[in-house]
Amino acid sequence: MSLRRRLTLSLVTILILFAVNVGTHFWGSYARNESMEAYRDSVSAAQLSTEVEQLLEDQRQQILVLATLRETTDDPLEEAELQSAEEAIAAIIGKVRKLGKLSHSVTELHYEQLQQSSGDLLSGWLEFYRDYNEPELQMNMDDPLPFLETSERLKELEQRQAFIAQQRATIIDRTISLTDRITVIAFFSSIFLTATLGFFLVRYTNTSLKMLKTGTERFGSGDLNYRIDNIDDSGELGDLADAFNDMSDKLRNAIYDVRKARDAADEANAAKSIFLANVSHELRTPLNAIIGYSEMLQDELVDSGEINRPQFRQDLERIMKSGRQLLSLINDILDLSKIETGKMTLHCETFQPADILRQVCESLAPLFRENFNELKIGDFSELPTLYNDAAKFRQVFTNLLSNANKFTEQGYISLLARNVPDRPGWVEIAVRDTGIGMDEDQQSRVFEAFVQAESSTSANYGGTGLGLAICREFCALMGGSISVESEAGVGSTFTVLLPSDPELSREAA
């Protein structure tokens, strides 16, 4: 186990014990508060029951006195006395309701029985007071059963409340005792565990550091074959030992690494030189044609003889063709420069990809005829409208079709497009040829800048090796991708995947 895990485990264990201690304290406080609250309610309910019982007894005595007076005298009940009696009965009803608020779920049934019996009793008393002055009033107020029933219900509720208060007191005592025991046990356990873990951690760390010190002394003395391999740690100390062991290997391999870096630098310089040579040759070829045909036209104009207009026109077309070729090479170099410096941006607009693809095919038709290639165009009717950079879209497929034509003679070039079935919001456009093809190693390098499939490709077919690299970067800028499938001697297929969903194109932009 690593040092970090040991320390983490020790810390977590101590924190757990601390959390148990704190949690026990808060739980005990909460339990005591809840029990004390219930205890106070029970005590208050018991006191209130006693008070209600006394009020009922006093009111019953007053009722009996009034009933006796009514039978023996004709004195009426004064308005003030009636109001005082109603207020007294209302006070009793209010205290009974307050008693209900202090009741618990276990005393709910007792309270409902008390409320029903007291309601009947107090209603009868109130009716007696209000009809006292009526001569025809016939009420037997000497019947003790309603009062006794109410008193019995009240005593039952009082006894139940007293029992609950006693239970709550017992629970409080048990909670205090339990929390005290848990707190003491957790405190001593924390002390013991901290001391034990500290002892083992110090001993383990001291032993491992001594081994590391011995290893560094051996390495410093020049013994690079020494290995620190007896540290029982899969974490930081073990990693440190592995780092010291790797250091000796790196020192031995330093000379090899320097030589390898030198060879890589030489290869980079050679690639740079080859690229510069290719670019120089590609730039000189159209430039020489421009200068040569321009001198010929100048000589023909200076000559006093009649101008051969068809030949003159043909020479001008060659100059224009060479100028376009030169401009294309310069544009490729500038585009790659912008891409590498991060200054290439998208200019998104809505366009019809089918129209642009047909225009590209029409503009390249003379090149296809020169190499005796037949162009096959698929069905573009289902292609949706795209929101992207139309200029870069045009340049990508101009490069792909030009490349396909350059490496194919007397063959077929196909341009196919479709909506991707399993990826809604995407279109797939493929350029397929029956040219020279590529093997797997050539395919892995074909999209790299300044690189062609073979070193002889530039000599045989021309080009700087920038076209496919630019296509890859443009596809990435437009939110898509480009891939190649090829077989040497059979042909190649370049597939471009672009978003047709405007939201995806905006994210790419």
Rounded CA-CA distance 145/51 in Å is 21
Residue 268 sits in a domain whose CATH number is 1.10.287.130
Segment 451-504, tens digit of pLDDT: 554 555 544 555 566 788 889 999 998 989 999 999 998 999 999 999 987 776
Q: What percent of the chain has pLDDT over 90?
A: 16
Whether 299 is covered by a domain: the verdict is: yes
Quick: pLDDT tens for 276-329: 666 666 677 777 778 887 877 777 777 766 777 788 788 788 788 778 767 777
pLDDT value at residue 429? 93
Specify whether 51 is located in the same domain as 25: yes
Q: Are residues 284 and 428 in the same domain?
A: no
Q: How far apart are CA 135 and CA 84, in angstroms?
A: 22
What's the CATH number where 478 sits? 3.30.565.10
Are 12 and 53 in a shared domain? yes
Angle at which helix 145-220 crosses helix 3-72, to 10 degrees, equals: 170
Domain boundary among 193, 210, 232: 193
374 inside domain: yes
Q: How far apart are the first and last CA of the chain?
A: 50
Given a contact cutoff of 8 angstroms between Cβ atoms, the answer to whether 332 and 340 are in contact is no
Say whether both 350 and 334 belong to one domain. no
Residue 85 lies in a domain: yes
Between the alpha carbon of residue 106 and those of residues 47, 63, 96, 112, the distances in Å are 18, 34, 17, 12
Q: Assess whether 146 and 39 both reside in one domain.
A: yes
Please tell me whether residues 448 and 501 are part of one structural domain: yes
The pLDDT of residue 237? 67
For residue 209, tell me if it sits in a domain.
no
User: Is 87 among the domain residues?
Assistant: yes
Q: Is 227 a member of any domain?
A: no
Q: Distance between alpha carbon 384 and the CA centroid of its chain, in Å?
A: 33
Number of domains in the chain: 3
**Residue 211 counted as domain residue:** no
Range of the domain at 321: 255-338
Helix (H) or strand (E) holding 430: strand 426-433
151, 56 contact by CB (below 8 A): yes
Q: Identity (one letter) of the amino acid at 254?
A: A
Q: Are residues 372 and 314 in the same domain?
A: no
Q: Is 18 helix (H, G, I), strand (E, B) or coil?
A: helix
Lowest-confidence segment of 34-43, 185-194, 342-351, 488-497 by average pLDDT: 34-43
Residues 280, 372, single domain; the answer is no
Q: What is the DSSP letter of 504?
A: H
Residue 229 has pLDDT above 90, yes or no: no
Query: Structure tokens of 503?
Result: 């939201």
Same domain for 162 and 269?
no
**Residue appearing with tokens 């406080």:** 29
At residue 183, the pLDDT reads 76
**Is 234 a domain residue?**
no
Of 315, 338, 361, which one is at a domain's C-terminal end?
338
Q: Is the pLDDT of residue 56 over 90?
A: no
Residues 44 and 177 in one domain: yes
Burial class (CB in 10 A: 0-12, 13-18, 19+), 194: middle
Give the per-residue pLDDT at 257: 79
pLDDT score, position 116: 83
Q: Are 160 and 13 part of one and the same domain? A: yes
Tell me whether strands 374-377 and 349-351 are parallel, antiparallel or unpaired.
unpaired
Q: Give the pair of three-digit tokens for residue 256.
A: 């090899």
pLDDT tens track for 230-252: 666 566 666 677 776 777 777 76
Residues 480, 502 within the same domain: yes
468 Cβ contact partners less than 8 Å away, ≥ 6 residues apart: 399, 403, 446, 447
Of 306, 338, 370, the one marking the end of a domain is 338
Q: What is the pLDDT of residue 453?
A: 44
